[in-house]
């Protein structure tokens, strides 16, 4: 594990896999809400597939997650801030280009980054769909942010009635997540829209056919110039474990 200090003094952790390739940029992976680089990318086998295809892989632990600093102040959270961390990490890596891959919350971060960061060579986003266009970020129509905040802050998880909100609480508890930091992130969740028409990097949108957070992904793909769309079997967590998901990422960034 490596660490660097981001633009506002926050210490951000990241992981390295594989060997640098002088001909290809690193693949930079950004995980979803309440997860980590290892949970979303290493354990499901995505890292193994990318390294096996010859790529050098970097996985960031977003602020508030994993081994990175955890703020309880919402003003220091949110996907806009995380996008600045991605740019700071590219600076830290001292590379001219990256292939950027994001899932769920990380997909929103990756999309924002790609609207302002010319060093993104190729872009892959998964676990999101029409919500990015119609809501401005993660699809809160699938589960309300206040329901997830309630689930994260209750002393008795047995009182949680929303199954999707309960899933985030279970993930946070299973990974030892800082529930106050996660609550701050939800409070700061991006809802301002993303200038998708300004993305110039070749883009692949991957969505699970049973993912409530990635409904109508063709709406998102249609909003990003020239984007390609791929549907794979699975729900929101299950897509990450589908071999077709990892294979599609490797094929696209190596294409």
| CATH classification of the domain holding 138 | 3.40.50.1820
At 167-221, the pLDDT tens digits run: 999 999 998 999 999 999 999 999 888 999 999 999 999 999 999 999 999 999 9
Give me the tens of pLDDT residue by residue for the chain, a chain 255 residues long. Answer: 999 999 999 999 999 999 998 889 999 999 999 999 999 999 999 999 999 999 999 999 999 999 999 999 999 999 999 999 999 999 999 999 999 999 999 999 999 999 999 999 999 999 999 999 999 999 999 989 999 999 999 999 999 999 999 999 999 999 899 999 999 999 999 988 899 999 999 999 999 999 999 999 999 999 999 999 999 999 999 999 999 999 999 999 999
| Half-sphere exposure (Cβ direction) of 192: Cα atoms closer than 13 Å | 9
Q: What's the pLDDT at 22?
A: 81
- Could you read off the pLDDT of 107-125 as tens digits, one per residue? 999 999 999 999 999 999 9
Reported as half-sphere exposure (CB side, CA atoms, 13 A), residue 31 has a value of 28
Domain of residue 165, residue span: 2-253
Q: Provide the 10 A C-beta neighbour count for residue 209.
A: 12
**Distance, CA of 71 to CA of 3 (rounded, Å):** 16
Could you give the number of structural domains in the chain?
1
Residue 167's H or E segment, with its range, is helix 163-175
Shortest CA distance to 227 belongs to which of 244, 206, 210, 243?
A: 206
C-alpha 117 chain-centroid distance: 16
């Amino acid at each position: 594990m490596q660490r660097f200090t981001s633009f506002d003094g926050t210490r951000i952790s990241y992981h390295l896999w594989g060997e640098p390739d002088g001909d290809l940029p690193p693949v930079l992976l950004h995980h979803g809400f309440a997860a980590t680089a290892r949970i979303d990318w290493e354990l499901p086998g995505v890292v193994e597939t990318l390294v096996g295809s010859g790529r050098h892989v970097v996985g960031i632990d977003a602020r508030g997650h994993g081994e990175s600093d955890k703020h309880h102040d919402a003003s220091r959270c949110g996907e806009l801030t995380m996008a600045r961390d991605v740019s700071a990490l590219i600076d830290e890596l001292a590379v001219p280009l990256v292939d950027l891959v994001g899932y769920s919350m990380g997909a929103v971060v990756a999309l924002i980054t790609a609207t302002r960061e010319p060093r993104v060579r190729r872009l892959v986003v998964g676990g999101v769909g029409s919500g990015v266009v119609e809501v401005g970020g993660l699809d809160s129509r699938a589960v309300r942010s206040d329901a997830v905040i309630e689930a994260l802050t209750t002393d008795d998880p047995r009182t949680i009635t929303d199954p999707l909100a309960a899933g985030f609480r279970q993930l946070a508890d299973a990974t030892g997540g800082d529930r106050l930091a996660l609550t701050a992130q939800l409070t700061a969740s991006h809802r301002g829209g993303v200038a998708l028409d300004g993305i110039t990097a070749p883009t692949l949108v991957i969505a699970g056919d049973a993912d409530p957070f990635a409904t109508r992904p063709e709406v998102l793909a249609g909003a990003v110039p020239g984007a390609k769309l791929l549907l794979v079997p699975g729900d929101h967590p299950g897509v990450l474990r589908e071999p077709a998901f990892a294979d599609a990422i490797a094929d696209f960034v190596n294409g």
